[in-house]
Chains A and B, each alone.
Chain A
Amino acid sequence: MTRTVDGEHLVGQPIDRIDGPAKTTGGARFSAEHAYPGLTHAALVPATVSRGRITAIDTAAAAAVPGVITVLTHGNAPKLNPPKRPTPANLSTLVSGTQVNYLNTDEVHWDGQPVAVVVAETSHAAREAAALVHVSYERLPAVVDFAAEEPNAVAQKGNPVMPGSAKKGDADAALAVAPVTVDARYTTPQHHHNALEPHATTAVWQGDELTVHDSTQSITWLRKHLALRFGVPEAKVRVLAPFVGGGFGGKGFAWPGTIIAVLAARATGRPVRLLLTREDVHRAVGARTPSAQRVALGADTGGRLTALVHTSVTRTSRVGGQPEQVTAPAQHLYDATNIRTAQSQTTLDWMPNTSMRAPGDAIGSFALESAIDELAGELGIDPVELRMRNEPERNPIDGKRFSHRMLREAYALGARRFGWENRSPEPRSTRDGRWLVGMGVATAYHPAMQFTANVTVRLAADGTVTVRCGFQEMGMGNATVQAQIAADALGVPFEAVRVEYGDSALPASVMAGGSMQTSTVAGSVLAACGKLTRRLSTLARRTGMQGRTPTEILTAARVPFIDAAVGSDTRLGALAGQARMLAKVVRDQRTWAKAACGAHFCEVRVDADTGEVRVSRWTAAFDVGRVINRKTAFSQLRGGIVMGIGMALFEEALVDRRTGRIMNPSLSGYHVPVHADVPPIDIACLDEPDPTMPLGILGVGEVGITGVAAAIANAIHHATGSRIRDLPITPDKLVT
Chain B
Amino acid sequence: MDFLRPTTLDEALALKAERPGAVPIAGGTDVMVELNFDHRRPEALLDLTGVAELAEWSTSDGQVRLGAGVPYTRVITELGDVLPGLAMASRTVGSPQIRNRGTVGGNLGAASPAGDTHPVLLATGARVEVASVRGGRTIAAEAFYTGVKRNALEPDELITAVHLPPASGAEQFAKVGTRNAMVIAVCSFAVVLRPGYAGVALGSAAPVPRRAAEAERFLVAELPWQTPVPLADSLKRAFAELVAGAADPIDDVRGSAAYRRHALGVLARRALTWAWDDYRNNGGERQCA
Binding site for B on A (CB under 8 A): 131, 434, 609-612, 614, 649-650, 654, 663-664, 666, 668-669, 671, 673-677, 730-732, 735-736
Contacts and interface: CB of A to CB of B under 8 A. Distances in A.
9 closest cross-chain pairs (CB), A and B: A676-B180, A732-B259, A676-B181, A609-B266, A674-B182, A677-B180, A674-B181, A610-B263, A610-B266
A650 B253 contact: no
Contact of B176 (A666, A674, A731): A731
B70 interface: no
A736 B38 CA distance: 37
A434 B274 CA distance: 13
B185 to A, nearest CB: 12
Contacts of B179: 649-650, 671, 673-674, 676-677
B180 A674 contact: yes
A654 B178 contact: no
B94 to A, nearest CB: 10
B25 to A, nearest CB: 17
A674 B38 CA distance: 25
A649 B255 CA distance: 13
Contacts of A731: 176, 178, 186, 255, 259, 263
A666 B37 contact: yes
Interface string B171-212: 000001011111110100000000000000000000000000
Among B33, B178, B179, the most chain A Cβ lie within 10 Å of the Cβ of: B179
Nearest to B180: A676
A669 B181 contact: no
Interface of B: 33, 37-38, 95, 176, 178-184, 186, 253, 255-256, 258-259, 262-263, 266-267, 269-270
11 contacts: A609-B269, A610-B266, A611-B263, A650-B178, A674-B180, A675-B181, A676-B181, A677-B179, A731-B255, A732-B256, A735-B262
Contacts of A664: 253
Contacts of B186: 731
B33 A668 contact: yes
Contacts of B176: 610, 612, 731
A143 B180 CA distance: 37
A654 B258 contact: no
Given A610-B176, A731-B176, A677 B259 contact: no
Nearest to B187: A610
Nearest to B177: A612
B266 A736 contact: no
B256 to A, nearest CB: 5
Nearest to B181: A676
A735 B258 CA distance: 10
Contacts of A735: 259, 262-263
A736 B180 contact: no
A434 B266 CA distance: 11
A730 B181 contact: no
A650 B263 CA distance: 18
Given A664-B253, A735-B262, A677 B37 contact: no
Contacts of B263: 610-611, 731, 735
Contacts of B256: 732
A735 B265 CA distance: 12
Nearest to A277: B36
B259 A736 contact: yes
Among A654, A671, A677, the most chain B Cβ lie within 10 Å of the Cβ of: A671
B243 to A, nearest CB: 14
Nearest to B258: A736
Contact of A131 (B38, B253, B262, B270): B38
A45 to B, nearest CB: 13
Contacts of B33: 668
Among B183, B253, B258, B270, the most chain A Cβ lie within 10 Å of the Cβ of: B253
Given A131-B38, A735-B262, 4 more contacts: A649-B179, A671-B178, A674-B181, A676-B181
Contacts of A650: 178-179
B119 to A, nearest CB: 16
A671 B256 CA distance: 17
Contacts of A663: 253
Contacts of B178: 650, 671, 730-731
Nearest to B178: A671
A586 B179 CA distance: 44
A610 B181 contact: no
A554 B267 CA distance: 76
B255 A654 contact: no
A296 B266 CA distance: 37
Contacts of A676: 179-182
Contacts of B269: 609
Contacts of A673: 179
B7 to A, nearest CB: 27
A675 B255 CA distance: 22
Contacts of B255: 730-732
Contacts of A131: 38
Contact of B253 (A669, A674, A675, A736): A669
A126 to B, nearest CB: 13
A670 to B, nearest CB: 9
A241 B179 CA distance: 34
A650 B178 CA distance: 7
A491 B270 CA distance: 65
Contacts of A674: 95, 179-182
A730 B253 CA distance: 11
A614 B37 contact: no
Contact of B181 (A654, A677, A732): A677
Among A610, A663, A675, the most chain B Cβ lie within 10 Å of the Cβ of: A610
Given A131-B38, A732-B255, A736-B258, A610 B182 contact: no
B240 to A, nearest CB: 10
A668 B186 CA distance: 13
Contacts of A612: 176
B107 to A, nearest CB: 16
Nearest to A650: B179
A614 B180 contact: yes
Nearest to B254: A669
A434 B186 CA distance: 19
Among B176, B258, B263, the most chain A Cβ lie within 10 Å of the Cβ of: B263
A731 B267 CA distance: 14
B277 to A, nearest CB: 14
A668 B33 CA distance: 10
A669 B39 CA distance: 15
Among B38, B176, B180, B186, the most chain A Cβ lie within 10 Å of the Cβ of: B180
A736 B176 CA distance: 16
Contacts of B95: 674
A637 B184 CA distance: 30
A14 B13 CA distance: 59
B261 to A, nearest CB: 11
A61 to B, nearest CB: 14
A652 to B, nearest CB: 9
Contacts of A675: 181
Contacts of B37: 666
Contacts of A434: 270
